[in-house]
Amino acid sequence: MQSARESWEQHRAALTPISLLVGLYGFVLALTGFKESWGLVFAADSSGGFVQRLLDASLATPFTALLSGVVITSLIQSSSATIALVVATIGSGVISVDQSVFLLMGANVGTTVTNSIVGLARAHRNEELERLVPAIVVDDVFKVLNVMLFFFVEISTGMLHGLASWIVGSLSHTSVFGSFLELFPDVIDKVTEPVTLGAIAVLSRFGMSPGVEALAAGFGFFLLLVMSLGLMGESLKRALHDQSRALLSRVFGGRMQAFMIGFGVCWLLQSSSVAVSLLLPLVGHSAVTLPTVYHYSLGAALATTCDPGQIVSYLKFGEVGLAAGVVHILLNVFGAILFLLVPGLRTAPLAFAESIGDLMCSRRHAAVWLAIYVGAAFFVLPMLVVLGVQLIG
């Protein structure tokens, strides 16, 4: 006789395509709604001043924009959600593509906080933590080094923004892709704008001031975006569980094999933090080496820039959205090339991660030091700098 659990699993499997479509629709709905909410926020005199000051403080310098991207992504633990929010903000005309570059860099760094939290959850055994800390930190180190390198390149030359604009401009001038780029946002708006405008109209009946109404709408669409991403991720995880596990079982090969498997698992699951976190239990049991984790993480970092959800968010806002997306892709493409092939850079993240791991685990209460590192690096210090700039300004 079939057990209740087996019956439930069969029902869940049958509902997976529906939940995936619901998550995708909720995602594009949230993008449209967030864009509309931004427009209302800045049209409202009562709240526009505060929001503008906060935005100005975040974007006051490239460095504060970078740190703002780190904090936002660390708080919501999803670079995909942060990128989608940034692209929607560009689509609303609140910020430009060149202003978004450093926010996108910060999102790249902030997404690694999930790995650290997963590591803390497994920190009850010291010998396991000694293996986990370098594996957790190596992704942080690679992304910090990559962002540092291209931060100075972008400040000096504007290379990422310039190259992305050229690529999108060239594509938009081709007849087929240009027509698609014009048509896609219109099609999406036709199926989302009636719902988003209706939701905003319902809020207006509660007698709130225009500024509070716009902020409430924006917060609601933000929650919808995060939940929709989670629903899509869970649906894909269920649908592709066996394939992901089969890929992970083959991660023990050379560095290019680990890179490609990291790319594949992340692209399927649409989350680099989830993809890397799946590998950490294997590290804790000494089944995977630090170099394997490193090259796997490089692949996952590249895949998260071009997974299906991200591509939809880029295309949703036409040329400006696609330009921001290409910036994100280029940052990680160049990073993967440099840190896979250049001799000095290829080993630097491994050396730094091992040194940080030795330093943390040589002290008593290593788990406490890891928690302090997570809190300081991803939350406290970036927020203090951004708030300090706001107060000084």
Question: What is the residue-wise DSSP string for 57-101?
Answer: HHTSSHHHHHHHHHHHHHHHT-HHHHHHHHHHHHHTTSS-HHHHH
Domain ranges, ordered by start, for the chain: 4-392
Angle between helices 126-157 and 318-341 (to 10 degrees): 120
What's the full length of the chain, in residues?
393
- Give the relative orientation of helices 113-121 and 126-157 as an angle to the nearest 10 degrees: 170
CA distances from 343 to 204, 258, 263, 310, 337 (A): 59, 18, 22, 32, 11
Q: Which residue has the higher pLDDT, 86 or 204?
A: 86
Residue 199 pLDDT level (bands cut at 50, 70, 90)? confident
* pLDDT tens digits, 334-347: 999 999 999 889 99
Residue 273 has pLDDT above 50, yes or no: yes
- Per-residue pLDDT, averaged over 147-166, amounts to 95
Is the CB of residue 212 less than 8 Å from the CB of residue 45?
no
Cα gap 80→373, rounded to integer Å = 23
d(CA 234, CA 200) in angstroms, rounded, equals 28
- Per the CB < 8 A criterion, the answer to whether 138 and 112 are in contact is no
Q: HSE-up of 250 (CA within 13 Å, CB side)?
A: 13
In this predicted structure, the answer to whether residue 35 has a pLDDT above a threshold of 70 is yes
Question: Is residue 255 classed exposed, middle or buried when 0-12, 13-18 and 19+ CB atoms within 10 A define those classes?
Answer: middle
Mean pLDDT across the stretch 256-277? 83
Average pLDDT, the chain: 81
Going by C-alpha positions, the residue among 69, 150, 142 that lies closest to residue 334 is: 150
103's CB contacts (< 8 A; 6+ apart) are: 58, 59, 65, 66, 68, 69, 72, 82, 86
Q: Which positions ≥6 away from 46 have C-beta within 8 Å? A: 209, 210, 211, 212
Euclidean distance between CA atoms 314 and 297, whole angstroms: 23
Tens of pLDDT, residues 51-85: 677 777 788 889 989 988 888 888 787 788 888 88
What is d(CA 38, CA 15) in angstroms, rounded to the nearest whole number? 34
Written as six digits, the tokens of 59 are: 């974007």
**Backbone dihedral region of 207: left (phi > 0), alpha (psi from -120 to 50 degrees) or beta?**
left
Taking the C-alpha atoms of residue 149 and residue 71, their distance in angstroms, rounded to an integer, is 20
Q: What residues contact 393, with CB distance under 8 A and at least 6 apart?
A: 53, 56, 57, 60
Q: Which residues contact 202 (CB under 8 A, 6 or more apart)?
A: none
Radius of gyration of the chain (CA): 21
Q: Which residues contact 90 (CB under 8 A, 6 or more apart)?
A: 96, 97, 100, 317, 320, 321, 324
Q: Which of 110, 105, 112 is nearest to 150 (CA)?
A: 105
Q: State the pTM of this model.
A: 0.84
Predicted pLDDT at 351: 93
In one letter, which amino acid is 327?
A: V
What b/e string do you get for 11-50 counting C-beta neighbours within 10 Å, with b at 16 or more? eeeeebeebbeebbebbbbbbbbbbbbbebbbebeebbee
Reference 305, options 153, 86, 47, 123; nearest CA is 86
Q: What is the pLDDT of residues 310-319, one digit of tens each?
A: 888 898 888 8
Nearest CA-CA partner of 26 in 312, 268, 306, 237: 312
Residues 89-97: what's their mean pLDDT?
A: 85
